[in-house]
Amino acid sequence: METLNWIGELSIGVEALDREHRVLAQAIDELHSAVMKDDQRSLIGPLLRKVVDITRSHFSSEEAMMTAEKYPGLVLHLFKHQDLLQQVEALAARVKRGGFTLNEHWLIFLRDWFSAHIQDDDLQFATWLNDSGKR
């Protein structure tokens, strides 16, 4: 599985959000590295929790920006954020309880969701900001 190295394609042109996206990409890559190395299994739970916490914080600031700018796509965007958070929170709880190992399937899910969300949903917001003269 390829890692989620930050590439220009993931930039949406809103510096505050791009900065947060880079931090989240790095956290997902750290989690990926830990999962792929058997000797770092003890790090997986805390690193997954870190991904969840960074995701929650990022979604909160992104949603605040969308609310302040009166983004018409906010409600749908919120639903997508809530759906992902429910999934990763449930995953983190399963890992914490034990007996469940995070595997490549889940890493691919996180990477692909994150990439697609930025390139589709977040880019729509950035485009709307630019087109409406707000940025």
Give the Cα separation of 125 and 78 in Å (integer).
Answer: 12
Q: Which CATH architecture has domain 15-131?
A: Up-down Bundle (1.20)
Give the Cα separation of 135 and 29 in Å (integer).
Answer: 30
Q: Of 46, 84, 47, 49, whose CA–CA distance to 63 is shortest?
A: 84
Distances (CA, A) of 37 to 18, 30, 32, 71: 29, 11, 9, 42
pLDDT, position 1: 46
Two structure tokens written together for 33: 């590295």
Give the Cα separation of 84 and 122 in Å (integer).
Answer: 14
User: Torsions phi, psi of 102, nearest 5?
Assistant: -65, 135
CA 25, chain centre distance (Å): 7
pTM of the model: 0.89
**Helix, strand, coil percentages for the chain (3-state, nearest 5):** 80, 0, 20
Domain range summary for the chain, segments of one domain joined by +: 15-131
Instruction: Say whether 132 sits in a helix, a strand or coil.
Output: coil
Mean pLDDT across the chain:
88
Mind listing the pLDDT tens digit for each residue in 14-54?
999 999 999 999 999 899 888 888 656 678 889 999 999 99
- Read off the pLDDT band of 134 (50, 70, 90): low
